Chains A and B, each alone.
Chain A
Amino acid sequence: MKIPMKSSRRENLAAYVFLSPILLFFAIFFAFAVGFSVWISFREWDMLISPLDAVFVGPSNYVVLFSDPLFVSSLVNTVIYAFSTTIAVVILSLLIAVALNNLRYSAVWRFIYFAPVVTPAVAIGIIWSYLYNPSRGIVNEVLGWLGIPAHNWLTDPHYALMAIIIVAVWAGMGASILIFTAGLRAIPQSYYEAARIDGATKVKMFFSITLPLIKPTTLFLSVTGMIGAWQVFDLIYIMGTNAPASSVQVISLYIYKTAFVNLQMGSASAAAMILFAIVLVTTLFTLGIFRKGGIESYE
């Protein structure tokens, strides 16, 4: 039990002196910036004139977005990317974390899985663009050994997004494995011993002990993974250039191109607001789950 101390005038002053750079930063790069985005999303602005002279167009930027087939396909691709990447990462990294638990040299294995997490996404994109090369990439080469026919992974609209999702899963597993491992270690060994005495199989133990007890970690990773995945940019920018835009482009790329290639700041801001709404819904959904799950450590 903490007894709230009365704050003195000097302490108030000291606190605000310590916070002043942060408050100044948030005033400029957050509050003003968000307001600016909202303001511009209702206007037509090309960045060449003063934003104050930008013509007010009402909600038309938002309306026009949904009649732009490229925006709609970007939205669909983002949803496909976010869900498949997150689900695959969570399932695979849980399985790997369980398999790694109590395995010899587990630290070495974890490092191997972790390497892509620190690697710049641009480097990952470059490496995999070569690996996916239809004639001299090793992906088709290895698949050929297994008798699987070669594909133009990054240029064929049917495969391009899937190929990028596979890379995202490859790159994203390491961090989740680490967090799952921490979660697995928190499960008391006595539960497993009791189950073993009762003659439970490993599979049975996984489904009746591990899975229910690791649930908070699974939820946490699903949602943080999802929030990150909604905003994917680097991998798609590097690897998605040779496929038709409608098959790989995601919202973030749509925003970038609309703003900094076409200089349509109004519709780019409107698209950014829509992305924000998606992220916000995901976050609020998570916070709800956390509260229900009794995780209050963020307070």
Chain B
Amino acid sequence: MNKKRKVTGMIKYVFVGLVGVAMITPFYWLISASLMTLQEFLSVPPKWIPSDPQWHNYVEVFKHVPFLNYYFNSFVVAILSTVMVLLTSAMGGYAFAKLNFIGKKLLFKFTLSTMMFPAFLFLIPNFYIITKFGWTSNYLALVMPFAVSAYGIFLLRQFIMGIPSDLIDAAKIDGASQFAIFFRIIIPLTQPALATLAILSFIGQWNNFLWPLIITSFSPELTTVPVGLSKLSLAFSTYTNQNLILAGTVLEIAPVVALFLYLQRYYIKGIVLTGFGGI
């Protein structure tokens, strides 16, 4: 019996360990290869460890491609859309959670139902709308289609419903307006949920690829990190500094992994609460 339990325990560790190695190896290889010279990188059979780490690969990336631009664009877009999503989600979440109004049930159902529509249905109409508004060549093109998130409204509504209504009633008796209640009571008490939504939204936008791909094919000056890297990597055969792309890839991953490590518990709460990895 005891022996048998030990054996199952061993199998468990071997299984978890083997899959764990498979999970980590690609990341290990990425970092290792990003520090190789081109010769080492191209060697057959592949090398696992750079003989002399080429840290300057990370500097070269910035020299050979407008990586700083990509970085700046990605940050602006991710931050702007996160701020918009936080604001609109908090406003919508509050209205749906604590206010009584005509059409509430219907509007809430409608909001949830918009989540069923695949992003691909909106590519063409959104592109048309953006051109009509004359936004094609500025950040609004990348931010506005993501300014409202049904998921975010839902998440905050669930959270705000948990705030005792007594607090709001007490403030009302003291003569506070709806806006004072929203900014002085709701927003401060909703901070954990806002943090969850902020990190989900930032990572979602940082990693967003398809929409920026379309917009930047018309306005290359708006190129974000994923789009810039994809262009470089697909133009590979002709590119002589292939190992630099890997340094770029490390730089693409770094901000989101750092953010995730820093705000891990909020991120995980969002995933477990709703079951989705992104927005």
Contact A18 B91 (CB under 8 A): yes
Query: Contact string, B39-77, partner A, CB cutoff 8 A, digits 1/0?
Result: 000111110100000000000000000000000000000
The closest CB in chain B to the CB of A284 belongs to B116
Contact B129 A22 (CB under 8 A): no
Contact B116 A279 (CB under 8 A): yes
The residue from B13, B42, B257, B276 contacting A136, defined by CB atoms under 8 A apart:
B42
Contact A22 B8 (CB under 8 A): no
With an 8 A cutoff between CB atoms, is A202 at the interface? yes
With an 8 A cutoff between CB atoms, is B253 at the interface? yes
With an 8 A cutoff between CB atoms, is A131 at the interface? yes
With an 8 A cutoff between CB atoms, is A21 at the interface? yes
Query: Contact string, B115-131, partner A, CB cutoff 8 A, digits 1/0?
Result: 01111111111111100
- Count B interface residues, CB 8 Å: 90
For the complex, what is the distance from the CA of A95 to the CA of B27, rounded to whole Å?
23
Residues of chain A within 8 A (CB-CB) of B220 are: none
Residues of chain A within 8 A (CB-CB) of B30 are: 127
Query: Contact string, A24-67, partner B, CB cutoff 8 A, digits 1/0?
Result: 01101110111011001000000100010000000000000000
For the complex, what is the distance from the CA of A35 to the CA of B102, rounded to whole Å?
25
Contact B275 A221 (CB under 8 A): yes
Residues of chain A within 8 A (CB-CB) of B266 are: none
For the complex, what is the distance from the CA of A11 to the CA of B95, rounded to whole Å?
9
Supposing A136-B42, A179-B271, A259-B123 touch, asked if A241 and B249 sit within 8 A by C-beta, the answer is no
* Residues of A contacting B: mostly: helix
Supposing A112-B20, A138-B29 touch, asked if A269 and B46 sit within 8 A by C-beta, the answer is no
With an 8 A cutoff between CB atoms, is A298 at the interface? yes
Q: Which of B1-42 contact A (CB under 8 A)?
A: 8, 12-13, 15-16, 19-20, 22-27, 29-30, 33, 42
With an 8 A cutoff between CB atoms, is B277 at the interface? yes
Query: Contact string, A228-265, partner B, CB cutoff 8 A, digits 1/0?
Result: 00110110011001000000000110011001100001
The residue from A7, A120, A175 contacting B271, defined by CB atoms under 8 A apart:
A175
With an 8 A cutoff between CB atoms, is A146 at the interface? no
* Residues of B contacting A: mostly: helix
Supposing A33-B121, A120-B253, A238-B233 touch, asked if A130 and B33 sit within 8 A by C-beta, the answer is yes
With an 8 A cutoff between CB atoms, is A191 at the interface? no
For the complex, what is the distance from the CA of A179 to the CA of B269, rounded to whole Å?
10
Supposing A121-B209, A238-B230 touch, asked if A136 and B44 sit within 8 A by C-beta, the answer is yes
Contact A123 B92 (CB under 8 A): no
A125 nearest CB across to chain B (Å): 8
With an 8 A cutoff between CB atoms, is A211 at the interface? no
Of listed A22, A103, A234, residue having the most chain B CB within 10 A? A22
The residue from B16, B22, B277 contacting A170, defined by CB atoms under 8 A apart:
B22
Query: Contact string, A127-151, partner B, CB cutoff 8 A, digits 1/0?
Result: 1111100011110010000000000
Contact A51 B128 (CB under 8 A): yes
For the complex, what is the distance from the CA of A237 to the CA of B33, rounded to whole Å?
23
Contact B16 A109 (CB under 8 A): yes
B228 nearest CB across to chain A (Å): 10
Q: Which of B179-213 contact A (CB under 8 A)?
A: 182, 203, 206-207, 209-210, 213
Known: A256-B123, A275-B121. 8 other contacts (CB 8 A): A25-B147, A92-B19, A123-B229, A125-B233, A131-B26, A231-B119, A231-B120, A237-B213
Would you give 11 A-B contacts (Cβ < 8 Å), ordered by A? Answer: A18-B94, A26-B114, A121-B209, A122-B207, A122-B227, A125-B230, A127-B30, A130-B246, A230-B118, A231-B118, A280-B116
Name A residues whose Cβ lies closer than 8 Å to a Cβ of B: 4-8, 10-12, 14-19, 21-23, 25-26, 28-30, 32-34, 36-37, 40, 47, 51, 92, 95-96, 99-100, 103, 109, 111-113, 115-131, 135-138, 141, 170, 172, 175, 178-179, 182, 202, 220-221, 224, 230-231, 233-234, 237-238, 241, 251-252, 255-256, 259-260, 265, 268-269, 272-273, 275-276, 279-280, 283, 298
